[in-house]
Amino acid sequence: MTINKDKIKELYADKRYQTYFDVGLFFVLIFSFHLLYILWEGPMDFWPIKGTIDKLFVWASKLLFNQSTWVLEHIFGMDFFTKGQTIMFENYHDSYSAVTVAPECTSLKQWMHWLFLMLIFPGPWKHKAWYIPLGLVIVEFTNVVRIVGIALFLRPYPDSFALAHDVIFKIMFYVVIFLMWAIWNDNFHHKKDRHFD
């Protein structure tokens, strides 16, 4: 079975199928980067810039910790104390819960996801020049929401860390990335089709 490139181009030109092609490309790029990241993180141990990546993880985790504790204190008025980069607080069951902001909690992987996706995905570079940095800021903000959300979730549900950390707020990260991409796709990649300038 051979792939007819002209037929694919013809289908893509048909606006009824563009969304399917674009969403398919989005998922191919996201999963491709995920696999590349696993390879680079695992067997390659971030070669050839491991030292730089390790320093970035430490710096980014301190930034995330400071941002998250500020939000918990100044926006939610939450009482807590810290030990290193662990936030400890009383939950609603007369015991204590804790959230540790480790280097692995940073947004670095998601920043790289966003960069990889947007550098490869079609669209005008004059808009990528500001949309990519904006996306990085939104990804960091999303991570602060994630840490704060986990802490607030643990107050009534102290035994649900895995649910909050591994399911609810992890999914939220990729929903935000998808929504940012969808805005890009509709308003910049297909700007001629949408009469956007």
pLDDT tens digits, 96-122: 999 999 998 998 999 999 999 999 988
| pLDDT of 171 | 92
Cα 109 to the center of its chain, rounded Å: 7
For 55, 76, 127, 180, 182, the CA distances from 115, given in Å and listed in that order, are 19, 32, 14, 12, 15
Q: Which amino acid is at 128?
A: K
> What pLDDT score does 188 carry?
87
Residue 193 has pLDDT above 70, yes or no: no
Measured distance CA(60)–CA(105) in Å, rounded: 9
- Which pair of tokens denotes residue 10? 């013809």
Pair of tokens at residue 193: 């089709």
Say if residue 95's pLDDT is above 60.
yes
**What is the Cα–Cα distance from 197 to 188, expressed in whole angstroms?**
8
Mean pLDDT in residue range 118-143: 94
Predicted TM-score (pTM) of the model is 0.85
Q: Residue 90 burial by CB count (10 A; 0-12/13-18/19+): exposed, middle or buried?
A: middle
Q: How confident is the model at residue 7 (pLDDT cuts 50, 70, 90)?
A: low
The 8 Å CB, 24+ separation contacts for 87-94 are 87/151, 89/151, 89/154, 89/155, 91/154, 91/155, 91/156, 91/158, 92/155, 92/156, 92/158, 93/158
pLDDT of residue 132: 96
* pLDDT over threshold 80, residue 194: no
